[in-house]
Protein backbone atom coordinates (compact mmCIF):
# COMPACT_ATOMS: atom_id res chain seq x y z
CA UNK A 1 0.00 0.00 0.00
CA UNK A 2 1.27 3.41 -0.93
CA UNK A 3 0.80 6.16 1.62
CA UNK A 4 1.53 9.88 1.55
CA UNK A 5 2.81 11.30 4.79
CA UNK A 6 2.46 14.97 5.72
CA UNK A 7 5.65 15.96 7.46
CA UNK A 8 6.30 18.31 10.35
CA UNK A 9 9.79 19.07 9.07
CA UNK A 10 11.30 19.29 5.61
CA UNK A 11 12.90 16.33 3.91
CA UNK A 12 15.53 17.62 1.53
CA UNK A 13 18.44 16.55 -0.54
CA UNK A 14 21.87 15.70 0.80
CA UNK A 15 23.38 18.16 -1.62
CA UNK A 16 22.17 21.03 0.50
CA UNK A 17 23.83 19.47 3.52
CA UNK A 18 27.01 19.32 1.44
CA UNK A 19 26.95 23.07 0.87
CA UNK A 20 26.84 23.55 4.63
CA UNK A 21 29.56 21.10 5.64
CA UNK A 22 32.70 22.46 7.33
CA UNK A 23 35.29 22.97 4.59
CA UNK A 24 37.92 20.90 6.38
CA UNK A 25 35.75 17.78 6.35
CA UNK A 26 35.38 17.15 2.64
CA UNK A 27 37.35 16.73 -0.56
CA UNK A 28 36.17 16.99 -4.18
CA UNK A 29 36.52 13.21 -4.49
CA UNK A 30 34.03 12.75 -1.64
CA UNK A 31 31.21 14.98 -2.89
CA UNK A 32 29.87 15.47 -6.39
CA UNK A 33 26.92 17.46 -7.73
CA UNK A 34 26.38 16.81 -11.43
CA UNK A 35 24.10 18.96 -13.55
CA UNK A 36 22.23 16.60 -15.85
CA UNK A 37 22.11 16.95 -19.61
CA UNK A 38 18.50 16.04 -20.23
CA UNK A 39 18.03 12.91 -22.29
CA UNK A 40 14.26 13.40 -22.63
CA UNK A 41 12.03 16.22 -23.75
CA UNK A 42 9.57 15.98 -20.86
CA UNK A 43 8.48 19.47 -19.85
CA UNK A 44 8.90 20.43 -16.20
CA UNK A 45 8.16 23.68 -14.42
CA UNK A 46 11.16 26.04 -14.26
CA UNK A 47 10.15 26.77 -10.67
CA UNK A 48 10.72 23.17 -9.54
CA UNK A 49 14.23 21.80 -8.95
CA UNK A 50 14.70 18.02 -8.91
CA UNK A 51 17.76 16.39 -7.36
CA UNK A 52 18.67 12.71 -7.15
CA UNK A 53 20.56 12.08 -3.92
CA UNK A 54 22.76 8.99 -3.82
CA UNK A 55 24.97 7.51 -1.13
CA UNK A 56 28.08 5.58 -2.13
CA UNK A 57 30.06 2.98 -0.19
CA UNK A 58 32.99 3.28 -2.60
CA UNK A 59 36.32 2.20 -1.14
CA UNK A 60 39.23 4.63 -0.90
CA UNK A 61 40.63 5.20 -4.37
CA UNK A 62 37.43 4.15 -6.14
CA UNK A 63 35.46 6.66 -8.20
CA UNK A 64 32.27 7.04 -6.18
CA UNK A 65 30.34 8.19 -9.25
CA UNK A 66 31.00 4.82 -10.93
CA UNK A 67 30.00 2.42 -8.15
CA UNK A 68 26.65 0.91 -7.25
CA UNK A 69 24.65 3.61 -5.52
CA UNK A 70 22.61 3.38 -2.36
CA UNK A 71 20.10 5.54 -0.47
CA UNK A 72 18.35 6.69 -3.65
CA UNK A 73 16.01 9.65 -3.09
CA UNK A 74 14.44 11.82 -5.80
CA UNK A 75 13.66 15.19 -4.24
CA UNK A 76 11.82 18.13 -5.73
CA UNK A 77 11.51 21.69 -4.40
CA UNK A 78 9.21 24.43 -5.72
CA UNK A 79 11.11 27.67 -5.29
CA UNK A 80 7.94 29.79 -5.54
CA UNK A 81 5.49 27.96 -3.28
CA UNK A 82 7.83 26.33 -0.77
CA UNK A 83 6.45 22.87 -1.53
CA UNK A 84 8.69 19.81 -1.54
CA UNK A 85 8.32 16.14 -2.39
CA UNK A 86 10.61 13.16 -1.88
CA UNK A 87 10.24 9.85 -3.71
CA UNK A 88 12.30 7.03 -2.26
CA UNK A 89 13.52 4.46 -4.78
CA UNK A 90 14.56 1.05 -3.37
CA UNK A 91 18.10 0.36 -4.55
CA UNK A 92 17.19 -3.20 -5.60
CA UNK A 93 14.46 -2.07 -8.02
CA UNK A 94 14.75 -4.23 -11.16
CA UNK A 95 14.54 -1.91 -14.16
CA UNK A 96 15.68 -1.48 -17.74
CA UNK A 97 18.90 0.54 -17.81
CA UNK A 98 19.24 2.28 -21.20
CA UNK A 99 21.99 0.71 -23.27
CA UNK A 100 22.65 -1.95 -20.64
CA UNK A 101 19.53 -4.05 -20.11
CA UNK A 102 17.75 -5.20 -16.98
CA UNK A 103 19.57 -4.79 -13.68
CA UNK A 104 19.11 -3.25 -10.25
CA UNK A 105 18.61 0.49 -10.55
CA UNK A 106 21.66 1.27 -8.42
CA UNK A 107 23.83 -0.38 -11.09
CA UNK A 108 23.07 2.51 -13.47
CA UNK A 109 25.61 4.62 -11.58
CA UNK A 110 28.24 1.92 -12.09
CA UNK A 111 27.58 1.52 -15.80
CA UNK A 112 27.18 5.14 -16.83
CA UNK A 113 27.67 7.49 -13.92
CA UNK A 114 25.22 10.19 -12.79
CA UNK A 115 23.94 10.86 -16.31
CA UNK A 116 22.79 7.27 -16.85
CA UNK A 117 21.31 7.08 -13.37
CA UNK A 118 19.32 10.24 -14.05
CA UNK A 119 18.04 8.83 -17.34
CA UNK A 120 17.08 5.52 -15.71
CA UNK A 121 15.19 7.25 -12.92
CA UNK A 122 13.50 9.48 -15.49
CA UNK A 123 12.31 6.44 -17.44
CA UNK A 124 10.94 4.81 -14.28
CA UNK A 125 9.18 7.77 -12.66
CA UNK A 126 8.76 10.23 -15.49
CA UNK A 127 10.88 12.92 -13.83
CA UNK A 128 14.48 13.27 -14.93
CA UNK A 129 16.41 15.08 -12.19
CA UNK A 130 18.16 18.38 -12.86
CA UNK A 131 21.08 17.31 -10.68
CA UNK A 132 22.55 14.13 -9.22
CA UNK A 133 24.34 14.42 -5.89
CA UNK A 134 26.70 11.66 -4.75
CA UNK A 135 28.55 11.41 -1.45
CA UNK A 136 30.59 8.76 0.29
CA UNK A 137 28.98 7.41 3.44
CA UNK A 138 31.98 8.44 5.53
CA UNK A 139 31.59 12.05 4.45
CA UNK A 140 27.86 11.91 5.10
CA UNK A 141 28.74 11.18 8.74
CA UNK A 142 31.05 14.20 8.81
CA UNK A 143 28.34 16.42 7.36
CA UNK A 144 25.79 15.38 9.98
CA UNK A 145 28.33 15.94 12.75
CA UNK A 146 29.14 19.31 11.19
CA UNK A 147 25.59 20.56 11.76
CA UNK A 148 25.45 19.27 15.33
CA UNK A 149 23.59 16.03 14.69
CA UNK A 150 19.91 15.64 13.84
CA UNK A 151 16.63 14.63 15.43
CA UNK A 152 14.37 11.96 13.93
CA UNK A 153 10.99 10.55 14.92
CA UNK A 154 11.39 6.78 14.84
CA UNK A 155 8.06 4.90 14.55
CA UNK A 156 9.24 1.50 15.82
CA UNK A 157 12.18 -0.11 17.60
CA UNK A 158 14.73 -1.85 15.38
CA UNK A 159 18.34 -2.96 15.70
CA UNK A 160 21.25 -4.48 13.80
CA UNK A 161 23.89 -6.83 15.16
CA UNK A 162 26.74 -4.93 13.55
CA UNK A 163 25.61 -1.34 13.07
CA UNK A 164 23.49 -0.79 16.21
CA UNK A 165 23.16 -3.84 18.48
CA UNK A 166 21.46 -1.77 21.21
CA UNK A 167 18.86 -0.70 18.66
CA UNK A 168 16.97 2.50 17.97
CA UNK A 169 14.13 3.10 20.41
CA UNK A 170 10.75 4.24 19.15
CA UNK A 171 10.13 7.97 19.49
CA UNK A 172 12.31 11.01 19.01
CA UNK A 173 16.01 10.23 18.73
CA UNK A 174 19.04 12.50 18.47
CA UNK A 175 21.56 11.04 16.03
CA UNK A 176 25.19 11.89 15.42
CA UNK A 177 26.80 11.16 12.06
CA UNK A 178 27.46 7.48 12.71
CA UNK A 179 23.98 6.84 14.06
CA UNK A 180 22.32 8.78 11.24
CA UNK A 181 24.15 6.60 8.73
CA UNK A 182 23.24 3.40 10.58
CA UNK A 183 19.61 4.52 10.81
CA UNK A 184 19.65 5.01 7.03
CA UNK A 185 21.36 1.73 6.12
CA UNK A 186 19.80 -0.95 8.32
CA UNK A 187 17.48 -3.16 6.27
CA UNK A 188 17.39 -6.83 7.26
CA UNK A 189 15.74 -6.32 10.65
CA UNK A 190 13.00 -4.07 9.24
CA UNK A 191 9.61 -5.66 8.59
CA UNK A 192 9.39 -4.35 5.02
CA UNK A 193 13.10 -4.37 4.26
CA UNK A 194 14.17 -1.95 1.54
CA UNK A 195 10.86 -0.07 1.63
CA UNK A 196 11.17 0.73 5.34
CA UNK A 197 14.83 1.59 4.91
CA UNK A 198 13.94 4.12 2.23
CA UNK A 199 11.36 5.66 4.59
CA UNK A 200 14.04 5.90 7.29
CA UNK A 201 16.34 7.65 4.84
CA UNK A 202 13.61 10.24 4.33
CA UNK A 203 13.35 10.70 8.10
CA UNK A 204 17.08 11.43 8.20
CA UNK A 205 16.72 13.93 5.37
CA UNK A 206 13.93 15.66 7.30
CA UNK A 207 16.22 15.92 10.30
CA UNK A 208 19.01 17.40 8.19
CA UNK A 209 16.78 20.06 6.70
CA UNK A 210 15.31 20.96 10.06
CA UNK A 211 18.83 21.96 11.11
CA UNK A 212 19.33 23.84 7.84
CA UNK A 213 16.09 25.74 8.28
CA UNK A 214 17.02 26.54 11.87
CA UNK A 215 20.32 28.13 10.85
CA UNK A 216 19.50 29.57 7.43
CA UNK A 217 18.35 32.90 8.84
CA UNK A 218 21.76 33.72 10.27
CA UNK A 219 23.42 36.49 8.23
CA UNK A 220 25.84 35.08 5.69
CA UNK A 221 25.27 31.45 6.65
CA UNK A 222 23.98 30.26 3.28
CA UNK A 223 26.56 32.32 1.42
CA UNK A 224 29.38 30.79 3.45
CA UNK A 225 27.95 27.33 2.82
CA UNK A 226 27.88 27.87 -0.93
CA UNK A 227 31.48 29.11 -0.86
CA UNK A 228 32.45 25.94 1.00
CA UNK A 229 30.69 23.86 -1.65
CA UNK A 230 32.53 25.61 -4.46
CA UNK A 231 35.84 24.89 -2.76
CA UNK A 232 35.17 21.33 -1.66
CA UNK A 233 32.73 19.70 -4.07
CA UNK A 234 33.24 18.45 -7.62
CA UNK A 235 30.46 20.09 -9.62
CA UNK A 236 29.62 21.46 -13.04
CA UNK A 237 26.95 23.72 -11.51
CA UNK A 238 27.58 27.46 -11.25
CA UNK A 239 27.79 29.36 -7.95
CA UNK A 240 24.44 30.95 -8.79
CA UNK A 241 22.87 27.51 -9.16
CA UNK A 242 24.34 26.32 -5.86
CA UNK A 243 22.98 29.36 -4.07
CA UNK A 244 19.56 28.80 -5.65
CA UNK A 245 19.55 25.21 -4.37
CA UNK A 246 20.48 26.26 -0.86
CA UNK A 247 17.85 29.01 -0.83
CA UNK A 248 15.19 26.65 -2.14
CA UNK A 249 15.91 24.09 0.57
CA UNK A 250 15.88 26.63 3.36
CA UNK A 251 12.60 28.16 2.14
CA UNK A 252 10.53 24.98 1.96
CA UNK A 253 7.51 25.12 4.23
CA UNK A 254 7.00 22.16 6.60
CA UNK A 255 3.25 22.21 5.94
CA UNK A 256 3.87 21.70 2.21
CA UNK A 257 5.95 18.56 2.27
CA UNK A 258 4.99 15.05 1.19
CA UNK A 259 6.95 11.83 0.79
CA UNK A 260 6.36 8.49 -0.87
CA UNK A 261 8.40 5.32 -1.15
CA UNK A 262 8.19 3.48 -4.46
CA UNK A 263 6.57 0.10 -3.85
CA UNK A 264 6.82 -3.22 -5.66
CA UNK A 265 6.79 -6.98 -5.40
CA UNK A 266 9.72 -9.07 -4.21
CA UNK A 267 11.36 -11.41 -6.69
CA UNK A 268 14.42 -13.58 -7.18
CA UNK A 269 16.55 -13.18 -10.29
CA UNK A 270 19.73 -15.21 -10.65
CA UNK A 271 19.68 -15.95 -6.93
CA UNK A 272 19.51 -12.26 -6.00
CA UNK A 273 16.55 -10.67 -4.22
CA UNK A 274 15.08 -7.81 -6.23
CA UNK A 275 12.20 -5.35 -6.04
CA UNK A 276 9.84 -5.48 -9.02
CA UNK A 277 8.58 -1.89 -8.99
CA UNK A 278 4.97 -1.05 -9.71
CA UNK A 279 5.74 0.99 -12.81
CA UNK A 280 2.21 2.31 -13.35
CA UNK A 281 2.20 3.77 -9.86
CA UNK A 282 5.72 5.14 -10.34
CA UNK A 283 4.54 7.04 -13.40
CA UNK A 284 1.52 8.37 -11.50
CA UNK A 285 3.82 9.71 -8.79
CA UNK A 286 5.83 11.49 -11.44
CA UNK A 287 2.74 13.00 -13.03
CA UNK A 288 1.48 14.30 -9.69
CA UNK A 289 4.74 15.82 -8.50
CA UNK A 290 6.40 16.96 -11.71
CA UNK A 291 5.00 20.48 -11.98
CA UNK A 292 4.63 21.55 -8.33
CA UNK A 293 6.62 19.15 -6.10
CA UNK A 294 3.41 18.01 -4.42
CA UNK A 295 2.21 14.45 -3.77
CA UNK A 296 -1.42 14.35 -2.73
CA UNK A 297 -1.33 10.56 -2.45
CA UNK A 298 1.01 7.66 -3.10
CA UNK A 299 -1.41 5.15 -4.63
pLDDT, tens only, 239-264 = 888 888 887 877 887 778 889 999 99
The mean pLDDT of 58-85, rounded to a whole number, is: 89
Instruction: Work out the pLDDT band at 231, boundaries 50, 70, 90.
Output: confident
Q: Whole-angstrom Cα distance, residue 57 to residue 203?
A: 20
Q: What is the rounded CA–CA span in Å between residue 217 and residue 196?
A: 33
Rounded distance, CA 18 to CA 246, Å?
Answer: 10
pLDDT for 27: 52
Is residue 38 pLDDT above 70, yes or no?
A: no
Are residues 124 and 105 in contact, defined by beta-carbon separation less than 8 angstroms? yes
List alpha helices for the chain, DSSP H.
14-19, 107-125, 137-146, 177-185, 194-215, 221-232, 239-251, 279-289
pLDDT digits (tens, 9 = 90+) for 58-71: 888 889 999 988 88
35, 237 in Cβ contact below 8 A? Answer: yes
> 228 Cβ partners below 8 Å, 6+ apart?
19, 20, 21, 22, 23
* pLDDT tens-place string over residues 1-18: 222 222 222 233 444 444
Domains of the chain: 5-288 (3.40.630.190)
Phi-psi region of 261 (alpha: psi -120 to 50; beta: other; left: phi over 0): beta
**pTM score over 0.85:** no
Least Cα distance to 19 among 263, 248, 288, 279 occurs for 248
Q: Exposure of 37 by Cβ count < 10 A (0-12 exposed, 13-18 middle, 19+ buried)?
A: exposed
Amino acid sequence: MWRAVRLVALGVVLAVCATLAPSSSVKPTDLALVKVKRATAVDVSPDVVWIMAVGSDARPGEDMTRTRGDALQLIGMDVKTGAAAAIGVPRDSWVDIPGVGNDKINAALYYGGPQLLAQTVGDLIGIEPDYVFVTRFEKFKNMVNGIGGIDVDNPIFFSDTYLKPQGFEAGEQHLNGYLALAFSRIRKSLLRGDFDRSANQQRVLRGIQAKIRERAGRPGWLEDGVLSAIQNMATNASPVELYRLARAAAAVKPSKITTCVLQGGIGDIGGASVVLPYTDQAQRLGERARDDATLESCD
